[in-house]
């Protein structure tokens, strides 16, 4: 029997008035996958997550989670979802442990079981010492970890993480990654959005890059890099000599400020020819990254 | 296989906001917060009536003497109870609910769980009604201690305070649902609650007003109904308007309960 997708979307749309926030996207996510949504601000990632979470009704298209339609079965679907929202919405009237216990009750988990789960999860996200501390006394990283613990309180079959590491310092981000890796290894299906490309590259089995409500590309991080950036990229200091040289060579290149990036299947040859004939400044050959894919697909113009 | 309707086909089911028994989980969340600081919370309903009884009942009462053959302090005691029902629930479901909805994003967190928005709002309304019951009961004890209300009929005020609390919660929640910001909640607070506090047969009988205003007050002011009922209970004398006011409250409570859920849904589900 073929495995059923955990989430399946077909021509999914969401309009806010005249704005097409999600403009006809299709994807399917299989059990055990870590699936990423990348894109600049306003791409429609959060809107897509909210439709999957059954809190924002779609405008058109098909969307099923666990094989159930999101409009008709929100309660059944939400029972098995763990959600880390983009905006921290911990209950500021409560301490850490009370947050987890109260949230567990919303799922019908109560009494000793709720207390045990809350204690275990605080341990998992390394917040046992903050057990009885009020939310306002936590650092940003601690809050995000507590939200992760909260999302796990109902032993979800699907985790949805909307920018799980937003605003965190590198230490806090690495700790979050470690926790997500552990969940991945345990076989969880995870959907996450991010605009940290390193995060996507590390965590995602497959990902899409979205912009202006549409999916631009889908694939594994490695495939996307190979197809859209090349395995290796030559970077050279910008000068008129270098540019005319590259034009003569007939290779594809782009100028970004005082750096020229050359995309070629033979990066080492390009670098050698540059050094021997064009009198360049510094020349680097480096591995292509998701960041190159992202920037080449979505452009460098600032979004906010 | 599963059956699915396309969004366009979603029928009238969406229009009728039906909460479920899961609402108690929302109620419980608010109760837990309340009882964390219950000493602070219990101070106002105990101190307030003492101040009013001393200042108005005995102070002003010296000059007023009796109204309709009833000592003034006995006359205003049920009004204090009705006002407490109104304030404790109305302000809970306006400013406090607005903070939870808008600033703390508590509702957003709740609807990511199996709770629906209908459950959440119903839980808030039931909690508002419960607060009315708690405060009014505390105040009742003080009034009994002062010997200004009849027993045992006054004990009926306790269940009634829940019903009246549910009414004022529903009215408050409607304002919360349409208020752009927390400041605009001052409008209903000052333009609706404060005048109602004075012109509902609370501290002077409606009969001294011009007939048009009398009729208007009896027709539209929820607090006027609550005062009539509470006064019947604390004086152990059935008002001729008792049945009318009860029916008025029952109908209005049902209406505002569902209207407020509907308006909140419209605001929050986008
Ligand atoms: N409730 C809303 N009302 C109107 N527009 C919205 C609403 N939510 C999101 N948008 C708009 O939809 C677009 C996509 O937003 P969002 O999904 O939050 O993007 P992302 O998460 O990728 O940054 C943006 O242009 C945003 O301004
Ligand atoms: Mg977002």
Q: Are residue A77 and residue A186 in the same domain, yes or no?
A: yes
Task: Report residues of chain B scoring pLDDT below 50.
Answer: 1-13
Tell me which residues of chain B, numbers 100 to 119, contact chain A at a CB-CB cutoff of 8 Å. Answer: 104-106, 108-116
Nearest ligand, measured from the Cα of A38 = 1
CATH number for the domain harbouring residue A70: 3.40.50.300
The alpha helices in chain A, defined as continuous H runs, are: 45-52, 74-79, 96-106, 111-124, 140-151, 170-185, 197-203, 221-228, 240-249, 267-277, 290-298
A110 touches chain B (CB under 8 A): no
Question: Does one domain contain both A173 and A145?
Answer: yes
By most ligand atoms within 8 Å of CB, the mutation choice from A18, A21, A43 for ligand 1 is A21
Choose among A103, A96, A114: nearest CA to A81.
A103
Q: How far is CA A127 from CA A120, A169, B199, in A?
A: 10, 17, 55
Ligand nearest to the CA of A50: 1
Instruction: State whether the beta carbon of A47 lies less than 6 angstroms from ligand 1.
Output: yes
At A236, which CATH number? 3.30.70
Distance from CA of A26 to the nearest CA of B (A): 16
Instruction: Give pLDDT, residue B9.
Output: 40
Measured CA to CA in angstroms, residue B191 lies from B195, B197, B255 at distances of: 6, 11, 22
Residue from the list B28, B33, B112 with its beta carbon closest to the beta carbon of A55? B112
Q: State the distance between the two ends of chain B, measured CA to CA, in whole angstroms.
A: 29
Find which of A93, A103, A151 to mutate to test the B interface (most B CBs within 10 Å of its CB).
A93
The shortest CB-CB distance from A102 to any of B29, B269, B270 is to: B29
Instruction: Give the residue from A15, A21, A53, A91 with the most B CB atoms within 10 Å of its CB, the best one to mutate.
Output: A91
Quote the tokens at residue B208. Answer: 């001294």
**CB environment A224-258: b (16+ within 10 A), e (fewer):** bbeebbbebbbbbebeeebeebbeebebebeeeee
Cβ-defined contact of B113 to A107 (cutoff 8 Å): yes
| pLDDT confidence tier of residue A300, bands split at 50, 70 and 90 | low
Provide the pLDDT for residue B217: 95
Is the pLDDT confidence value at A243 over 90? no
- Please report which residue ranges of chain B form alpha helices under DSSP H: 23-36, 38-52, 61-64, 72-91, 97-98, 106-111, 117-146, 157-178, 186-188, 194-198, 211-220, 222-235, 242-268
A106–B115 CB contact, under 8 Å: yes
Residue for token pair 């004022």: B168
Q: Give the nearest chain A residue to B102 (CA atoms).
A: A89
Dump pLDDT digits (tens) for A111-134.
999 999 999 999 999 999 999 999
Residue A299 lies in a domain: no
Query: How many angstroms separate the alpha carbon of residue B43 from the centre of ligand 1?
Result: 45
Residues 242-301 of A with CB under 8 A from B: none
A100 and A151 belong to one structural domain = yes
Taking the alpha carbons of B157, B163, B169, B175 in that order, is the dihedral positive or negative? negative
Q: How confident is the model at residue A2, as a pLDDT? A: 64
Query: Is A174 among the domain residues?
Result: yes
Instruction: Verify whether ligand 1 is closer than 6 Å to residue A25 (CB atom).
Output: no
Task: Please indicate whether, in this complex, the C-beta atoms of A103 and B109 are within 8 angstroms of each other.
Answer: yes
**For ligand 1, is residue A41 a contact (CB within 6 Å)?**
yes
CA atoms within 13 A on the CB side of B257: 21
pLDDT of residue A70: 96
pLDDT at A284: 84
Asked, for residue A75, whether it belongs to a domain, the answer is: yes
Which pTM was predicted? 0.90
How does strand A34-38 pair with strand A206-211?
parallel
Per residue, what are the HEC states of B114-176? CCCHHHHHHHHHHHHHHHHHHHHHHHHHHHHHHCCCCCCHHHHHHHHHHHHHHHHHHHHHHHH
Q: Whose C-alpha lies nearest to ligand 1, atom 8? A: A47
Residue A137 shares a structural domain with residue A282: no
SS3 B181: coil
User: DSSP state, A40?
Assistant: S
Question: Is the CB–ligand 1 distance for residue A44 below 6 Å?
Answer: yes
CA proximity to B119, closest of B16, B18, B19: B19
* Domain regions of chain B by residue span: 7-268
d(CA A279, CA A287): 23
Residue range A24-49: mean pLDDT, rounded: 96
Cα A200 to the center of its chain, rounded Å: 6
Are residue A57 and residue A199 in the same domain, yes or no? yes
Q: Whose CA is nearest to atom 12 of ligand 1?
A: A21
Of A4, A48, A10, A34, nearest to A213 by C-alpha is: A48
Residue A300 lies in a domain: no
Query: Does the residue A151 lie in any domain?
Result: yes
Residue whose CA lies nearest to ligand 1 atom number 11:
A21
Tell me the percentage of chain A whose pLDDT exceeds 70: 98
> Which helix (H) or strand (E) element contains residue B189?
none
Which of B149, B22, B160 is closest to B89 using CA atoms?
Answer: B160
Distance from first CA to last CA of chain A, Å, rounded?
45
Q: In terms of domains, do A63 and A94 share one?
A: yes
Specify whether A211 is located in the same domain as A62.
yes
Q: Does A243 reside within a domain?
A: yes
This model of the complex carries an ipTM of 0.89
Whether residues A267 and A214 share a domain: the answer is no
Q: In Å, how far from its chain's centre is CA A101? A: 28
| Lowest mean pLDDT, pick from A33-42, A183-192, A258-267, B159-168 | A258-267
Q: Is A9 on the interface with B (CB under 8 A)?
A: no
Cβ B82 vs Cβ B223: under 8 Å: yes
Determine, for residues B105 and A87 on separate chains, whether the beta-carbon distance falls below 8 Å: yes
CA distance A116 to A120: 6
Q: Are residues A86 and A202 in the same domain?
A: yes
Number of domains in chain A: 2
Q: Between A and B, how many CB-CB pairs are < 8 A? A: 77
* Residue A15 belongs to domain spanning: 7-225
A260 domain residue, yes or no? yes
Answer positive or negative: Cα dihedral of B96, B97, B99, B105: positive
Atom of ligand 1 nearest to the CA of B270: 1
Mean pLDDT for the stretch of residues A207-230: 90
Tokens linked to B147: 């010997």
How close A185 comes to chain B (CA, Å)? 25
Q: How far is CA A32 from the centre of its chain?
A: 16
Query: Measuring CA to CA, how many Å separate A70 from each of A77, A110, A304, B141, B166?
Result: 7, 27, 30, 51, 32
- Flag if B269 and A58 touch (Cβ within 8 Å): no
Tell me which ligand sits closest to the C-alpha of residue A86. 2
Average pLDDT over chain A reads 91
Asked if A221 and A257 sit in the same domain, the reply is: no
Res. A94: pLDDT tops 60: yes
C-alpha distance from A119 to closest chain B C-alpha (Å)? 19
pLDDT for the residue B17: 63
Q: Which atom of ligand 1 lies closest to the CA of A48? A: 17
Q: In what order do the strands lie in the sheet with A19-29?
A: A19-29, A7-16, A60-65, A68-69
- Is the same domain home to A219 and A241? no
Among A49-58, A183-192, A273-282, B184-193, the range scoring the smallest mean pLDDT is: A273-282
Distance between CA atoms of A170 and A176, rounded to whole angstroms? 10
Which residues of chain A from 162 to 201 reach within 8 Å of chain B, CB to CB? none
C-alpha closest to that of A210 among A47, A71, A29: A47
Q: Burial code of A72-101, b = ≥16 C-beta within 10 A, e = fewer?
A: bbbeebbbbbbbbbeebbbbbbbbbbbbbb
């Amino acid at each position: 029997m073929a495995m059923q997708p955990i989430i399946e979307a077909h021509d999914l749309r969401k309009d806010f008035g005249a704005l097409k926030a999600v403009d006809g996207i299709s994807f399917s996510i299989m059990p055990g996958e870590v699936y990423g949504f990348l894109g600049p601000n306003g791409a429609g990632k959060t809107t897509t997550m909210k439709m999957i979470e059954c809190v924002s009704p779609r405008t058109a298209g098909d969307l099923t989670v666990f094989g159930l339609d999101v409009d008709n079965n929100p309660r059944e679907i939400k029972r098995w979802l763990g959600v880390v929202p983009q905006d921290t919405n911990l209950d500021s009237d409560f301490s850490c442990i009370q947050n987890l216990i109260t949230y567990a009750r919303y799922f019908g988990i109560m009494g000793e079981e709720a207390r045990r789960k809350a204690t275990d999860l605080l341990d998992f996200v390394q917040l046992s010492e903050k057990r009885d501390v009020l939310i306002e006394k936590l650092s940003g990283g601690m809050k995000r970890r507590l939200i992760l613990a909260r999302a796990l309180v109902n032993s979800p079959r699907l985790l949805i993480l909307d920018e799980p590491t937003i605003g965190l310092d590198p230490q806090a981000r690495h700790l979050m990654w470690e926790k997500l890796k552990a969940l991945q290894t345990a076989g969880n299906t995870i959907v996450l959005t991010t605009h940290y490309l390193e995060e996507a590259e590390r965590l995602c089995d497959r990902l899409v890059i979205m912009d202006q409500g549409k999916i631009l590309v889908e694939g594994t991080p490695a495939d996307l890099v190979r197809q859209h950036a090349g395995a290796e990229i030559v970077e050279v200091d910008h000068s008129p000599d270098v540019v005319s040289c590259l034009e003569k060579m007939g290779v594809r290149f782009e100028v970004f400020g005082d750096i020229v990036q050359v995309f070629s299947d033979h990066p080492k040859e390009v670098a050698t020819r540059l050094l021997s004939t064009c009198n360049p400044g510094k020349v680097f050959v480096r591995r292509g990254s998701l960041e190159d894919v992202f920037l080449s697909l979505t452009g460098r113009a600032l979004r906010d | 296989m599963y059956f699915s309707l396309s969004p366009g086909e979603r029928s009238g089911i969406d229009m009728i906001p039906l909460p479920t028994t899961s609402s108690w989980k929302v109620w419980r969340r608010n109760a837990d917060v309340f009882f964390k600081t219950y000493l602070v919370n219990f101070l106002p309903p105990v101190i307030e009536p003492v101040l009013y009884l001393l200042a108005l009942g005995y102070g002003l009462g010296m000059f007023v003497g009796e109204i309709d053959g009833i000592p003034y302090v006995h006359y205003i005691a049920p009004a204090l109870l009705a006002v407490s029902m109104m304030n404790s629930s109305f302000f809970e479901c306006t400013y406090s609910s607005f903070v939870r909805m808008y600033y703390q994003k508590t509702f957003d967190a709740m609807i990511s769980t199996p709770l629906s928005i209908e459950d959440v709002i119903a839980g808030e309304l039931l909690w508002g009604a419960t607060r009315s019951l708690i405060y009014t009961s505390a105040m009742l004890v003080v009034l009994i201690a002062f010997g200004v209300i009849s027993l045992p009929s006054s004990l009926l005020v306790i269940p009634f305070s829940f019903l009246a609390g549910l009414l004022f919660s529903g009215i408050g929640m409607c304002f919360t649902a349409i208020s752009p910001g927390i400041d605009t909640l001052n409008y209903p607070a000052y333009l609706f609650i404060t005048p109602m506090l004075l012109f509902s047969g609370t501290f002077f009988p409606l009969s001294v007003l011009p007939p048009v205003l009398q009729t208007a007050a009896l027709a539209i002011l929820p607090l006027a109904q609550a005062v009539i009922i509470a006064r019947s209970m604390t004086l152990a004398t059935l008002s001729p308007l008792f049945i009318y006011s009860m029916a008025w409250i029952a109908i209005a409570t049902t209406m505002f309960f569902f209207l407020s859920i509907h308006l909140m849904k419209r605001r929050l589900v986008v």
